[in-house]
Structure 1
Amino acid sequence: MRTRYLHTICFSLFYITTFSQVDIAKDFINQGDFIVLEGSIVSSDYFFTNASTGNFENRGTLYYYNDFKNDNLFYPGGTKSSKVYFNSSKDNAPQLIEGLKLSEFYDIEFNNSFLNHGFNLSNEITVKGNSSFVNGVVNVLDNEGMITFLPKSTTTQVSDVSHVDGYVEKKGSDSFIFPIGHKGYYRPAIISALSSEKDLYVGKYQYETPDFFTNRLAKSGVITNLDTKEYWEIKRSDFNSGDIMLTLSWDERTTPKELLVNPEKKLHIVRWDAKQQLWVDEGGVVDLEKKEITTPTSVKGYGFFTLATVNTDLILDGDIVIYNLVSPDGDGKNDYFIIDNINRFPNNTVEIYNRWGVKVYDTKSYDSAGNVFRGYSDGRVTINKGEKLPTGTYFYIVSYEYKDANGSRMIKKSGYLHLESNK
């Protein structure tokens, strides 16, 4: 039997325009219009459902001590006074946050100590104000749940015992600390401020997933030791207007100890380049006090990131790294003469000579408009322009203008590269 009244709900003041139906035994089900006025407090020990016909507007304070399900409209009503507390009273089980429709919150608090796994989130929720992580990990179910932090939203009290395990989405131009972790470790990622409120990024952290690295061990020559215990995933919308500087951190509990010898000199952020199928250096500025490392400029791509040590002897001023193998066979690996970060210094020239000293390639502003060396003779004064060059050893000269606090100067680097052209 279903009864038309609210069961064990404590309040100071609330207003219902279309009365809700409530199961006297286990459920609190809203099937109409429910408005919690500013200054009011409503709490429920029962399984809450906002049904497909429900319209739930919260301008006051809500306490949910049991599971939460939203199948229609649930929103804060345009007021900063809206607060929702998930404080589970369930025994030996995580609190469920689910439903078919988006749930919108202003301020929200998570507080459930069940085995550090306090919440299972299987629907999409947004946070406009602050999200407080007091106790309990929020487990976001893949392909079902998502927490989206809207412009100017914040997080507080994030820790090992309370964070998000799964994907977190961030909208807006302000810098943001992703409250992410895995297996009981809070391991945030920080993105710098952006230019548009429409920019959107997604972050996730993973620890001890060895299968991930099974086919991702190849690394560029400048990288010496790779952190294969953990990684971060940072993705961006195709419609974003700018790029980020990324900050990650190390933790002696999760980061291999061999990476932490002289971190201020050798530790960098690296990114998995899906096209080349290898880890590439994104650089790094180390803060020893905070145990953080930040890319010196905007990242050159997105996807998977981790930490690594690098051979600094191979890194030129401006984080320029020159790779000396070209194998243009279309496999996405070393298909052209790669010079990391050269496009940061557009006043540059690249010249390549064969073993007899004959110039076979030259260009200005290398890699600015597809002008890269792919194993073909090309340039203003090269011989046999457009001809495929034979396998062998070649000689390069790279020059670029570098500016720092001491002024501007030209840097020139020369060396050998090997071309494997199957000719």
Structure 2
Amino acid sequence: MILISLSGFAQEAFHNFGNAQIHSTGQIGFHIDVINDGEFDNNVGKTGFYNDNSLTVSGSNEPVFYDLEIDVKEDLILEIGVGIANFQEFINGRVITDRDQKSVSLDYINDAPYLGENDDRYVDGYATLNGNLDFSFPVGDDFRLRPIKIESEAAGNGSRAAYFFENPNTPNFFADSFDTDMYEDLLFGISIFEFWDLDGNKETRVTLTWDSNSNIPTLVEDVQDLRVVGWSKELRKWVNLGNTSVFGDVNEGEISSKGIIPDDYEILTFGSSDRLLDGDLEVFTAVSPNGDGMNDTFKIQGLSNFPDNELFIYNRWGVLVFQKKAYHENQNFAGISEGRATVSQKSELPEGTYYYVLNIVGTKDRAGYFYINR
């Protein structure tokens, strides 16, 4: 049963107490508020919200719409969650959710796509995903669309995200503050202009976006020195989550982290790691393991400052001949194979050119060539 309450002759709200359904050929446009206290989650038709002012969705049960069109100039306000099972389009207005109640969100189900988002049309609050594909959350704040992206591995567990155009030191919707002077050694500075809240218990790379209002030049001159950072729940400080790819310039772009579990971090934002310059490490590109005490091993000076590293060495055919975690000057590679693939273990490697890849946690890989001369 569907009841519509009346005030005089004006309809105030569509109030569902029973079992409502929009069939596959059906379409319904709501020009009034929707209150759902019944079953309204088996829809297979098209639903639209239309108003020159604002509309509200409330009640005790979350409605789930198949195709959803939002054309509400003064915003669609969600007091309960709303699900989308197939497709959603932004035409006018934002979708507003209460940032104090994470459970109230716009929920994208079964990888439901969307279009029409921009700086005036987005989810101002929390959006949630259940699916199997990479996903970009259409979230923003203060009339700014600022998406955050996750990979498919994290898409199926109800990952949830929101963007906050706020100083992490003085957040409005969190019990704690996130001191931007508290960060680990590999970092140099933390953004004081914005952050994201991302929830999820599956590992994923996370991609953050920035625009001119992000004030990236206050952190770095070169976006290659930019890092994704997270406030660690365990350590109670900002930690470096890496820069596996970065595109754009200081005015607009995006950056991806290494693989992380979002639930390990209260919030995410941008940081800089411009202490790690080329001059911090010196790679010796000649190895002559003849026992004369000169260049007998492959040396990388400065690695004592970066103990969380791993070194890979390949021959000219791309065969891995050496691998070592926490490589340092007292455990140098002396031209002896570790027994990878077709190269016998403990055998001397022949003269020639070799290729190294050095991974330091929280930074982009460094790579280059060196020569073994016997």
Could you state the TM-score of these two structures normalised by the residue count of structure 1? 0.62
Match of 2:192 in 1: 228
Confirm whether residue 250 of structure 1 aligns to residue 250 of structure 2: no
Unaligned runs of 5+ in 1: 1-17, 29-45, 325-337, 352-394, 414-423
Query: 2:254 & 2:83 partners in 1: Cα distance?
Result: 28
Aligned length: 299
Question: Residues 194 and 83 from structure 1, CA distance in 2 versus in 1: closer, same or farther, beyond 3 angstroms?
Answer: same
For 1:230, the aligned partner's letter is E
For 2:269, the aligned partner's letter is T
Confirm whether residue 308 of structure 1 aligns to residue 271 of structure 2: yes
Matches within 5 A, 1:196-345: 198-209=156-167, 210-212=169-171, 215-237=179-201, 242-259=202-219, 261-263=221-223, 265-284=224-243, 285-288=245-248, 291-295=253-257, 297-299=258-260, 301-302=262-263, 303=265, 304-311=267-274, 312-313=276-277, 340=308
**CA shift for structure 1 position 98:** 0.9
SS in 2 for 1:106: strand
Greater displacement, 57-66 / 307-316:
307-316
Confirm whether residue 49 of structure 1 aligns to residue 12 of structure 2: no
**CA shift for structure 1 position 26:** 5.5
For 1:306, the aligned partner's letter is T
Cα RMSD for the two superposed structures: 3.6
For 2:96, the aligned partner's letter is N
Question: Residues 341 and 233 from structure 1, CA distance in 2 versus in 1: closer, same or farther, beyond 3 angstroms?
Answer: farther
Matches within 5 A, 1:190-201: 190-194=149-153, 198-201=156-159
Question: Residues 121 and 348 from structure 1, CA distance in 2 versus in 1: closer, same or farther, beyond 3 angstroms?
Answer: same
**CA shift for structure 1 position 271:** 1.2
For 1:294, the aligned partner's letter is S
Match of 2:28 in 1: 62
For 2:210, the aligned partner's letter is W
Matches within 5 A, 1:8-407: 20=3, 23=6, 25=8, 46-51=12-17, 54-59=18-23, 60-77=26-43, 79=44, 82-90=45-53, 94-114=54-74, 118-141=75-98, 142-143=100-101, 145-194=104-153, 198-209=156-167, 210-212=169-171, 215-237=179-201, 242-259=202-219, 261-263=221-223, 265-284=224-243, 285-288=245-248, 291-295=253-257, 297-299=258-260, 301-302=262-263, 303=265, 304-311=267-274, 312-313=276-277, 340=308, 348-350=324-326
For 2:213, the aligned partner's letter is R
**CA shift for structure 1 position 348:** 3.5
Query: 1:105 & 1:412 partners in 2: Cα distance?
Result: 47
SS in 2 for 1:194: helix
Query: 1:103 & 1:215 partners in 2: Cα distance?
Result: 39
Could you state the TM-score of these two structures normalised by the residue count of structure 2? 0.69
Query: 2:88 & 2:77 partners in 1: Cα distance?
Result: 16
Question: Residues 214 and 169 from structure 1, CA distance in 2 versus in 1: closer, same or farther, beyond 3 angstroms?
Answer: closer
**CA shift for structure 1 position 316:** 11
SS in 2 for 1:215: coil
Query: 1:191 & 1:199 partners in 2: Cα distance?
Result: 12
Query: 1:275 & 1:322 partners in 2: Cα distance?
Result: 26
CA displacement 1:86-106 (0-9 Å, x = unmatched): 11144xxx3111111010111
CA displacement 1:136-178 (0-9 Å, x = unmatched): 1211013262221112211111111111111111112211110
**CA shift for structure 1 position 199:** 2.5
For 1:84, the aligned partner's letter is T
- Give the share of equivalent positions with the same residue, in percent: 19
CA displacement 1:233-292 (0-9 Å, x = unmatched): 11114xxxx4211111111123343235211x2111111112112211111111127711
CA displacement 1:47-105 (0-9 Å, x = unmatched): 21112xx111012111111211111111344x3xx111111144xxx311111101011
For 2:214, the aligned partner's letter is T
Contact kept, 8 Å, 1:110 with 1:135, in 2: the verdict is yes
Contact kept, 8 Å, 1:65 with 1:89, in 2: the verdict is no
Unaligned runs of 5+ in 2: 172-176, 284-301, 314-321, 341-352, 361-374
Query: 2:132 & 2:160 partners in 1: Cα distance?
Result: 14
Query: 2:304 & 2:62 partners in 1: Cα distance?
Result: 48
Query: 1:219 & 1:70 partners in 2: Cα distance?
Result: 46
CA displacement 1:364-403 (0-9 Å, x = unmatched): xxxxxxxxxxxxxxxxxxxxxxxxxxxxxxx9967799x9
Query: 2:219 & 2:69 partners in 1: Cα distance?
Result: 36
Contact kept, 8 Å, 2:311 with 2:325, in 1: the verdict is no
